[in-house]
Amino acid sequence: MTPPPGTLLAAEDLRKSYGPTVALDGAGFSIHPGEVVAVMGPSGSGKSTLLHCLAGIVPPDSGSIVYDGRELAGMSDTERSALRRSEFGFVFQFGQLVPELTCVENVALPLRLNGRPRKEAERAALAWMQRLEVDDLAAKRPGEVSGGQGQRVAVARALVTEPRVIFADEPTGALDSLNGERVMELLTEAARSANAAVVLVTHEARVAAYSDREIVVRDGRSRDMERAI
C-alpha cells in the first residue's frame, strides 16, 4: 500500500482472528501528524485490536500497515520494538505505572530504556510532569496518588520520549468527568503543539469531542465518517 502524501500511519484491509473469533475483518485507518482521530464503536467490535495492530503490538493475519513510509510487517522484531520505544507513546485505561518506582522514575523510564542518563532523563520527566500539573507528586509512588493524578503521570510518561504517535485506549475510562476532561485537554494540547498524532479509542462522546474526526468500528470493519459524508 502507498498511502497519500502527508500520511503518518495508515492501514488497509486488516484481518485478525483469535481462534474462531474474528476481531478485525478488513479494517482500515489513516492519520496525519498533529491529528487526533477518535476510534468509536460498540464493545467487542475490534477497537483495541485495531490499536494494537497499528502500534505493532499484535501482528494482523493479513493486511498492510505503513508507518512513515515503511511497512510494519517488513520490519524485524527488534526494529518494531525500537519503534514502539522511541516513536510511539501509550496511555491505557488502568495503571501501567510500575508500583516500585516513584512517579518521576516512572515518567523517566522510557528515556532510561532508550539509554539516556538518569539525571537527564529525570529532568525531562519533571518538565513533562509540570506540564501535566503533577510535578509535586514526583517523589511519590503510584500507590500513593489518586486515579486522576496517576493517569496524568501516565500521560507524562507517554509524552516524555516526544513520540510521533500516541496510542490511547480509553485513557479517561477510570476517571470522573472533570478529571477525564482535564487529561484530554492536556493530552491533546501537548500532542498538537508537538505535532504528534493521537489514536484515541473511546466510547465516550465527550472524550471523542477532543478529536478532529472519528472512525467507527463495527464487526471488525471500520468506517471513516469524514469521507462518508
Partner 1 sequence: MSIGHTLLGLLESGPRHGYDLKRAFDEKFGHDRPLHYGQVYSTMSRLLKHGLVEVDGIEAGGGPERKRYAITDAGVTDVERWLATPEKPEEYLQSTLYTKVVLALLTHRDAADILDVQRSEHLRSMRILTDRKRKGDLADQLVCDHALFHLEADLRWLELTAARLDKLRAEVTR
Where residue 197 falls (left for φ over 0; alpha for ψ -120 to 50; beta otherwise) is beta
Query: Judged by CB under 6 A, which of 30, 37, 47, 92 binds ligand ATP?
Result: 47
- Determine if 61 is a binding residue for ligand ATP (CB under 6 A): no
- The rounded distance, in Å, linking the Cα atoms of 222 and 201 is 13
Distance from CA of residue 197 to its chain's centroid?
9
Spell out, one character per residue from 185 to 214, where the chain touches partner 1: x when CB under 8 A holds, - when not.
x-----------------x-xx-xxxxx-x
Instruction: Pick the stretch among 45-53, 82-90, 101-109, 135-143 that binds ligand ATP (CB under 6 A).
Output: 45-53
- Determine if 44 is a binding residue for ligand ATP (CB under 6 A): yes
Look at residue 49 and give the partner it binds from partner 1, ligand ATP, Mg ion, none, a contact being a CB closer than 5 to 8 Å depending on partner kind: ligand ATP
The three grid cell numbers given for residue 143, joined into one nine-digit string: 500507590
DSSP letters spanning 44-94: TSSHHHHHHHHTTSS--SEEEEEETTEEGGGS-HHHHHHHHHHTEEEE-SS
Look at residue 18 and give the partner it binds from partner 1, ligand ATP, Mg ion, none, a contact being a CB closer than 5 to 8 Å depending on partner kind: ligand ATP
- Determine if 88 is a binding residue for partner 1 (CB under 8 A): no
- Determine if 133 is a binding residue for partner 1 (CB under 8 A): no
- Determine if 48 is a binding residue for Mg ion (CB under 5 A): yes
Place of cell 517523589: 139
**Size of interface with ligand ATP, in residues (CB under 6 A):** 12
Summary count for the chain: helices (H), strands (E): 8, 10
